[in-house]
Amino acid sequence: MKNRKFEFIPVNEPLFDGRELEYLTQCIQSGWVSSEGSFVQQFEQELSARTTRRFGISVSSGTAALEVAVAALGLENGDEVILPTHTIISCVSALIRRNVKPVLVDTDLATWNMDVGKVESAITSRTRAIMVVHTFGLPVDMDPIIELAKKYSLMIIEDAAQATGLTYKGRPCGSFGNISTFSFYPNKHITTGEGGMILCDDPLLAKRSRSYRNLCFQESKRFVHEELGWNYRMSNLHAALGMAQLETLPEHLQQKRSNGLYYKELLVGTPGLILPPNDKPYSNNYFWVFGILLGKELDVSAVTAMAKLKERGIGTRPFFWPMHEQPVFQRMNLFNNESYPVAELFGRRGFYIPSGLTLTRQQQQRIVETLVELLRIN
């Protein structure tokens, strides 16, 4: 069986079925390919309008968006920010680089998001903000977070990298934070290749964000710097892709949801598998990716399952490894003796299968048949 050749199905393949080529051609023909091009401003205005925000500040990546957001909020040494341990390392590194203490909470198995019921007990006199991270295609339950933020006078940092176009109780994800961030990596709902965005309603936050992404140049004395910033600007080429992708976002979201529901239909009842959560009263699940948790009764690890699927020509990607178990943070003596059982289960027993917009029903059937066969063997 190992010698048999299979057509490879990648874990994600972006879909460019709109005006991407047309807009890129306009950039090249006009000569405006840098961050000074018109598509940058158009993209900022269009995404902020769709998200009901006043200001959009484009940047070079989702990580850059988080770095700039934390700096723009003025978080500093001694401050604490509560966030999930099951997340991308960018969320924690943006805090640590400003000497801000990350305070972690576990994952909720019912939502695959941060356990909002554990947030209040993590609040101290030093807590300045809650960082919400929408994951997998289902938004975080925001009402309890908003109530806590009001009760304790906290800011909300909203990482909506995996939630472009999603809504919570009819309100767009990305509209809840004092400052919100997006990523446009190729596996996101819209992609610019690499890129990100910061959204907010506060003109001062917007001004500070624009300054930090642009090396803190000053208007009157360009090369005289009062603060240190970054060159995190987005190019006109990337923004052109973003504009085209925004135009097809509604159709792409429906395709994601359709693919996810079809996977669930094929896999429901499979012994030992924990499937993504169903819709919640506050939001539908749009299955940014289709994740799978292997139950403890299965005598196979996520690493082994992914390796066997790769042998059969099926791409996979592991879930995030918990922040409290990251070697780099352990060497910093962070999160000593902390344990978050659900996030640890996700890190060890979770992975996602091909979830791109180009997937066909035939490919999904092959993926499921292969997965079920491998689990039966083990």
CA–CA dist 365, 317 (Å, integer): 19
**Has residue 35 got a pLDDT over 80?**
yes
Specify the pLDDT at position 219: 86
Alpha-carbon distances, residue 354 vs 76, 262, 313, 315 (angstroms): 40, 13, 11, 6
Q: What is the CATH number of the domain that holds 110?
A: 3.40.640.10
Q: Tell me, what's the pLDDT at 376?
A: 81
- Mean pLDDT, residues 169-184 taken together: 98
For residue 267, give its domain range: 249-377
Q: Is the pLDDT of residue 73 over 70?
A: yes
Is residue 31 a part of any domain in this protein? Answer: yes
The residue among 244, 279, 295 that closes a domain is 244
**Which positions ≥6 away from 324 have C-beta within 8 Å?**
85, 104, 334, 335, 338, 339, 340, 343
- The CATH number of whichever domain residue 345 belongs to comes to 3.90.1150.10
Residue 316, in any domain of the structure: yes
Burial of 270 (0-12, 13-18, 19+ CB in 10 A): middle
In a domain? residue 158: yes
Do 157 and 260 share a domain, yes or no? Answer: no
The Cα–Cα gap between 90 and 196 comes to 13
pLDDT of residue 220: 85
End-of-domain residue from the set 219, 244, 269: 244
80 and 225, same domain (yes or no): yes
**Quick one: 206 and 297 in the same domain?**
no
Same domain, 99 and 217: yes
pLDDT in tens, 43-71: 999 999 999 999 999 999 999 999 999 99
Over residues 123-139, the pLDDT tens digits come to: 999 999 999 999 999 99
| 8 domain residue, yes or no | no
pLDDT at 202 over 50: yes
Q: What is the pLDDT of residue 377?
A: 63
The per-residue pLDDT for 6 is 76
**Are residues 222 and 294 both part of a single domain?**
no
Q: Which amino acid is at 345?
A: L
Q: Considering the entire predicted model, what is its pTM?
A: 0.95
29 and 173, same domain (yes or no): yes
CB 298 within 8 A of CB 272: yes
pLDDT of residue 1: 45
Average pLDDT over residues 206-228: 93
Is position 363 within any domain?
yes
pLDDT at residue 338 above 80? yes
Residue 267, pLDDT above cutoff 60: yes
- Let me know whether 196 and 265 are in one domain: no
Give the confidence band of 4 by pLDDT, cuts at 50, 70, 90: low
Q: Do 258 and 306 fall within a single domain?
A: yes
- Give, in order, the Cα–Cα distances in Å from 338 to each of 61, 324, 333: 30, 7, 11
Is there a single domain that holds both residue 74 and residue 210? yes
Beta carbons within 8 Å of 37's beta carbon, 6+ residues apart? 27, 30, 235, 236, 237, 239, 240
User: Structurally, how many domains does the chain consist of?
Assistant: 2
Q: Same structural domain for residues 228 and 263? A: no
Question: Are residues 214 and 258 both part of a single domain?
Answer: no
User: Confidence class of residue 330 from pLDDT cuts 50, 70 and 90?
Assistant: very high
> Residue 375: what pLDDT?
86
Give the end of a domain, one of 191, 222, 244.
Answer: 244
Residue 10 included in any domain: no
Smallest CA-to-CA distance from 213 within 40, 67, 90, 56 is with 67
Judgement on whether residues 186 and 93 belong to the same structural domain of the protein: yes
- Across the range 285-313, mean pLDDT stands at 95
14 occurs within a structural domain: no
Question: Quick check: is 76 in a domain?
Answer: yes
Tens of pLDDT, residue by residue over 79-127, are 999 999 999 999 999 999 999 999 999 999 999 999 999 999 999 999 9
